[in-house]
Amino acid sequence: MAFGFDASAVRVFLGITPPLDVPYVGTRSAMVDAMLDMAEVGPSDYVIDLGTGDGRILIAAALDRGAGGLGVDLDPSLIDDAKAEADRLGLSDRVAFREQDLFDTSLQDADVVTMFLLPSVNLRLRPRLLDLEPGTRIVSNRFDMGEWRADAVREVRGYSAYLWIVPAQVAGLWRLEFEGKSIALDLEQSFQDVSGTALIDGQSQAVTSILKGNRLRFGLEFGEERRVFEGEIQGDAFMPTDDADWLAERIPE
Ligand SMILES: C[S@@+](CC[C@H](N)C(=O)[O-])C[C@H]1O[C@@H](n2cnc3c(N)ncnc32)[C@H](O)[C@@H]1O
């Protein structure tokens, strides 16, 4: 009987590398395309691929869409494969691969985060993902993010691809100045779902909206007339995206 040994198991046993949180399974190319498509990955994007494996998602992002980025994985042989493939394709100036724990990887520079991990790992990452710049896109093969509903889901040959867009933080009190009126908005937020009340001429009115990154849109009734407020959250301001004549500011607590 021959005794084979698994090099990565020995490295874990010797404490050279931490144990994997997820075993290796490669994403099929149709799923890779769907994920990059949903995240609208383009040449100006920096993609961070968590648990990159042989780097196929990041390599496709660079090769097909001109993106740059970083892939991290704990398995050194997969990282070697990813680097070799990036070299072979002439992509090494745009993508880097590093043997590194995804939980120790800074995500702050990401325009897009890609992953094929596990539900429990996605949930552990969730607070850090929610803390990224509003508008950052996150795509996951197969596994969701619990209560943080995906902004889009696509079925690819029996499996789901999920997209989330990091929402801006809008909960709190706002003052909306519009046609000489000063409207108090009291907003609550659960991930991308926004609800609350608007106080117009002493009358309270419900507000509901879905945030897409830093883009917010809701309607208010002024007598018979309904007016839509659509714009961008920029720090403590909510400003129209067109040339409409309103402006909202966050009221400090
Ligand atoms: C399901 S595979 C996905 C591989 C690749 N992203 C793909 O979609 O083809 C998960 C990968 O995560 C890596 N991994 C597991 N735990 C990790 C950790 N804590 N930090 C970095 N990589 C990890 C594994 O080595 C494996 O390559």
The end-to-end CA distance of the chain, in Å, is 72
In this predicted structure, what is the pLDDT of residue 3?
52
Token pair for 182: 């000063």
Query: Is the CB of 138 within 6 Å of ligand 1?
Result: no
In this predicted structure, what is the pLDDT of residue 1?
41
Q: Rounded CA gap, 64 and 8, in Å?
A: 32
Mean pLDDT in residue range 231-249: 93
Residue 180, burial from CB neighbour count under 10 angstroms (0-12, 13-18, 19+): exposed
Mean pLDDT in residue range 140-153: 98
Mean pLDDT in residue range 149-161: 98
Given strand 237-240, what is the order of strands in its sheet?
203-210, 193-200, 181-190, 172-178, 246-250, 237-240, 225-234, 215-222
Percent of all residues in the chain with a pLDDT value above 70, rounded to a whole number? 94
Distance 96 CA to ligand 1 centre (A): 16
Query: Is the CB of 101 within 6 Å of ligand 1?
Result: yes
Token pair for 206: 């419900």
Q: Rounded CA gap, 46 and 67, in Å?
A: 6
Query: Is the CB of 97 within 6 Å of ligand 1?
Result: no
Distance 55 CA to ligand 1 centre (A): 10
The answer to whether 139 and 38 have CB atoms below 8 angstroms apart is: yes
Distance 24 CA to ligand 1 centre (A): 6
Ligand 1 atom at minimal distance to the Cα of residue 51: 12
Query: Is the CB of 24 within 6 Å of ligand 1?
Result: yes
User: In this structure, what DSSP letter does residue 197 have?
Assistant: E
In this predicted structure, what is the pLDDT of residue 25?
97
pLDDT in tens, 158-184: 999 999 999 999 999 999 999 999 999
In this predicted structure, what is the pLDDT of residue 57?
98
In this predicted structure, what is the pLDDT of residue 244?
85
Domains assigned to the chain: 7-165 (3.40.50.150), 172-250 (2.40.128)
Token pair for 154: 């696509």
pLDDT in tens, 42-66: 999 999 999 999 999 999 999 999 9
Token pair for 216: 């917010």
Measuring from atom 8 of ligand 1, which residue has the nearest CA? 27
Q: Rounded CA gap, 20 and 13, in Å?
A: 12
Alpha-carbon distances of 202 from 183, 244, 245, rounded to whole Å: 9, 24, 22
Cβ-based neighbour number of residue 201 at 10 Å:
8
In this predicted structure, what is the pLDDT of residue 2?
46
pLDDT in tens, 90-140: 999 999 999 999 999 999 999 999 999 999 999 999 999 999 999 999 999
Closest CA to 41 of 63, 26, 74, 22: 63
The region of weakest confidence among 45-59, 62-76, 239-253 is 239-253
Query: Is the CB of 78 within 6 Å of ligand 1?
Result: yes
Amino acid at 205: Q
Q: Rounded CA gap, 230 and 205, in Å?
A: 17
In this predicted structure, what is the pLDDT of residue 5?
60
Distance 58 CA to ligand 1 centre (A): 13
In this predicted structure, what is the pLDDT of residue 14?
67
In this predicted structure, what is the pLDDT of residue 243?
85
In this predicted structure, what is the pLDDT of residue 253?
79
